[in-house]
Amino acid sequence: MKNSPGKKIKTAVFISGKGSNLKSLINFSKKKISNIEIVLVITNNKKAKGLQFAIKNKINNFYINYKIKKISEKKILKKLAELKIKLICLAGFMEILSQNFIKKSNSTIINIHPSLLPKYKGLNTHAKVLSNGEKYTGCTVHFVNSKLDSGKIILQKKVKVLNDDNIYKLKKRVLIEEHKLYPKAILKIFN
């Protein structure tokens, strides 16, 4: 995918929780090397802690209640069109986007997942990795389709599981890699 030289890609980030990936993407967007401009943050959780990063950085942010998926997606599509969004980064967004939304979004949609996909799709990845005695885990950035954690892989980073690991420690180390991997994947797909 090519981006016009000198032009930053208008980007939306979708979150549901802490927003540490949102924070790292905002930091990335401010760097000279960055090819994105984050102009929209969407959440399905009014109490998402990550919203603070959007507010602090004066980024348009909207809570969509997601009670009725079709209506919620229609509202989001309207915002995407208004702001001419071309890239959507899912970052801990706890909803599955419909095929219709993906088709109509007019955007490249990517997601970050805390495992070495195709292993450990879905929730509780670190607990599953630990209980299965895996030696390695990691994180993956992939294109989004309407199946959970299943689109084409863009980049992955391996993380070693240590003898004294627990869910908390492992999550923390994987997140450090996530924060580096997401910007790298964005640079990769548009360069």
Which residues would be at the binding site for ligand GRF (CB under 6 A)?
15, 17-21, 50, 91-92, 112-114, 175, 178
The single residue listed with the structure tokens 């943050």 is: 41
Instruction: Report the residue number, 92 or 151, with the smaller CB distance to ligand GRF.
Output: 92
Question: Minimal distance in Å, beta carbon 144 to ligand GRF?
Answer: 11
Is 113 a residue of the active site? yes
Instruction: Report the residue number, 86 or 142, with the smaller CB distance to ligand GRF.
Output: 142
Question: Minimal distance in Å, beta carbon 2 to ligand GRF?
Answer: 27
Cross-strand pairs, 43: 15, 63
Question: Minimal distance in Å, beta carbon 82 to ligand GRF?
Answer: 25
Helices (H), the chain: 20-29, 51-56, 69-82, 99-104, 125-131, 167-190
CA torsion sign, 62 to 63 to 69 to 70? negative
Instruction: Report the residue number, 55 or 81, with the smaller CB distance to ligand GRF.
Output: 55
Burial readout 125-142 (b: 16 or more C-beta within 10 A, e: otherwise): bbeebbeeebeebbbbbb
CA torsion sign, 154 to 45 to 57 to 171? negative
Enumerate the active-site residues.
113
